Structure 1
Amino acid sequence: MVYSLDVRFKPLYEIIGSLHAYVCRKSHKKLDLTPSWAKQVRQMITPELADVLDRVQIDGDWKLTYLLVHLCPGENVVDFVEWLKGMTAGELYELMSAYGNQFPDQMGEFRDHTVKLFEQWNDQYFRHIDPFILEGLQEQARARKEALQSADPIAFVDETTNGLSFAPVNGLEQLILMPQYHFQPINVIFSFGKVTICHYAARIYAEDEEFLAPHEYRMIRSVAEKSRLKILRYLNQGPRSFIEIVRHMELSKGITHDHIAKLRYAGMLSAHFEGETLTTYSLRTSALEQVHSKILGYIEQG
């Protein structure tokens, strides 16, 4: 690993994570949040804000919003809004040009839209969330940052992100890991030239669990299906691309993707990235051992 590695958290990172969870409508059924979360949030916010959010797309401009959040020196949404309001369009172009050559069509409009969006989302939703969430994320980042000091970097990234691996591609100088709550169990990965940021599922939950934690139960459920077991057995031979898995399974791309996604979210696979591009999958044997341990642990508690 030739790039540097860091773990960071501040409330500003989670506010964009919560926004991402809401606007990424195709992922609502996959999230650890209650199935009705998006509907509950819609009842909390004004029709005007709901209309704005309905028009937000996970596109190039949204990726640049993540970049601005990363570049902001402040800790929370108030800091972010004041910082962004104080930037001219020219200053934003200059700041962002160090991280790529993609820009909004109208930087001034993009800035003003972002300011309004964050102000309203914070006022109508984010400031009402359980303080436990932010406290848990802060503690998660502190503990992982401390563990990083004596860890093998590759093993550290794998453990922290539940199975991600980032190749040292040309130009990459820094990988920043940021724990997130709202978009669990999915990771959000964006590459900005010399910097790749990964918002990873922190595996913390606001609800008390009398049963297994959602992640632990997900691990067990992920292997309780014949096709997924076949995928794991195939990957035991070595890393494979998505197309190679499709050909081996003789299933449609859509069905194969669904099986792989369930295994990924459970941490049963290692997903290998070059920048934002996912290249291959491999078997994560440590997760198989964890499944055995979790089942026995649950049974023996009785």
Structure 2
Amino acid sequence: MEYNVEVRFKPLYEVIGSLHTFLCRQSHKKLDLSPSWPAEARRGLTPELVELLNNTAIDGDWKLTYLLVHLCPADDAAGFTDWLRKLSAGDLYELISLYSNQFPAQMSDFRDRTIQLFELWNEQYVRHMDPIIMKRLQEEASDKQRLLPSADIQSFVDETTNGLYFAPVKGLDNVVLMPQYHFQPINVISYFGSFTLCHYAARVYVEDEDFLNPHEYRMIRSVAEKSRLKILRFLQQGPRTFIEIVRHLELSKGITHDHISKLRNAGLLAAHFEGETLTAYSLRPSALEQVHHKIIGYIKQEV
């Protein structure tokens, strides 16, 4: 590996993670959160915040919000908004230009809207979150930080992110891994030239767990479909692009993407990235062994 890997966590990361989860409406049915979570969260919000959320898109400005959260020295939402208030539009242009050549149309409006969004969301949602969420995420980060110095980096990134591979592209110095709860099982990846941010699904759950947690159930369910088994068998030959998988299955791109997404979220496939470009998928034999182990363990468990 030609880049460094870090594991970080602070409550501010889960603030933007929970916001991202609420904003990504098309992903709500794919998440480990209760299906009722969006409606329950919305009931605690004022009309002012609901309107602001409805007018916030997952776009280039939102990617820059992730960048600012990463660059902010504060640990929580209050510190983030205080930090933003002290930065002029010119300060923000100068700061962002170090990592991106894309800017909001109106920097002052972008700053003020971001401050309002984080203040309201922090007051109306984050402060009412179960405190065990932040505690478990901090424990997850601390555990990974202890393992990292002696770990094989590629294997460490693969296991931590449930199957991501970041190619050592020119100029990439750091990959920063941050555990997240709300957007599980999906990872959020942002590339800024010299570093890649990966808010990864931590496989952390606060509800009472059964013998199999949501991730383990997902692993087992994901292989109960003929086309997905064909994908796994095809990838036994080595990494393949999305188009190669489409041609092999002889299915539409949309259906193929859905099958791949289910296998990816279950951790049975590795996704290979060059910057933010997903170039190929490969098989994760270790995850298949976990499926076998969990099924056998469940069958043999005494009742």
TM range (shorter): over 0.9
CA distance in 2, matches of 1:208, 1:286: 26
Which amino acid is 1:121 matched to? W
CA distance in 1, matches of 2:8, 2:300: 37
**Count of aligned pairs:** 302
Partner residue of 1:7? 7
Which amino acid is 1:167 matched to? A
Partner residue of 1:110? 110
CA distance in 2, matches of 1:88, 1:171: 29
Deviation at 1:210, TM superposition (A): 2.4
CA distance in 2, matches of 1:248, 1:80: 48
What RMSD over aligned residues (CA atoms) do the two structures have, in Å?
0.7
CA distance in 2, matches of 1:119, 1:298: 45
Deviation at 1:193, TM superposition (A): 1.2
Which amino acid is 1:248 matched to? H
CA distance in 2, matches of 1:2, 1:228: 34
The correspondence of residues 93-104 of structure 1 with structure 2, limited to 5 A, is 93-104=93-104
Which amino acid is 2:219 matched to? M
Partner residue of 2:189? 189
CA distance in 2, matches of 1:122, 1:215: 28
Deviation at 1:221, TM superposition (A): 0.3
Partner residue of 2:71? 71
Indicate the SS of the match to 2:21: helix
Which amino acid is 1:292 matched to? H
Deviation at 1:240, TM superposition (A): 0.3
Indicate the SS of the match to 2:68: helix
Percent of aligned pairs sharing the same letter: 69
CA distance in 1, matches of 2:132, 2:66: 24
Which amino acid is 2:96 matched to? M
Which amino acid is 2:47 matched to? P
CA distance in 1, matches of 2:82, 2:236: 51
CA distance in 2, matches of 1:270, 1:220: 17
Which amino acid is 2:158 matched to? D
After superposition, the C-alpha distances for 1:31-68 in whole angstroms (9 at most, x for unaligned) are: 10001110111111012211111121110000000000
CA distance in 1, matches of 2:179, 2:209: 20
The correspondence of residues 79-94 of structure 1 with structure 2, limited to 5 A, is 79-94=79-94
CA distance in 1, matches of 2:148, 2:276: 23
Indicate the SS of the match to 2:98: helix
| Structure 1 residue ranges, 4+ long, deviating more than 3 angstroms after superposition | none
Indicate the SS of the match to 1:149: helix
Partner residue of 1:128? 128
The answer as to 2:152 corresponding to 1:152 is: yes
Question: More deviation in 132-141 or 50-59?
Answer: 50-59
Partner residue of 2:209? 209
Indicate the SS of the match to 2:150: coil
TM-score, normalized by length of structure 2? 0.99
Partner residue of 1:229? 229
CA distance in 1, matches of 2:82, 2:44: 25
TM-score, normalized by length of structure 1? 0.99
Which amino acid is 1:37 matched to? W
Indicate the SS of the match to 1:94: helix
Deviation at 1:251, TM superposition (A): 0.3
After superposition, the C-alpha distances for 1:229-265 in whole angstroms (9 at most, x for unaligned) are: 0000000011000000000000010100000000000
Instruction: Extract unaligned runs of 5+ from structure 1.
Output: none
CA distance in 2, matches of 1:197, 1:72: 14
CA distance in 2, matches of 1:127, 1:42: 14
Which amino acid is 1:19 matched to? L
Deviation at 1:211, TM superposition (A): 4.2
CA distance in 2, matches of 1:48, 1:100: 31
Indicate the SS of the match to 1:74: coil
Partner residue of 1:33? 33
CA distance in 2, matches of 1:80, 1:299: 49
Instruction: Extract unaligned runs of 5+ from structure 2.
Output: none
CA distance in 1, matches of 2:73, 2:297: 44
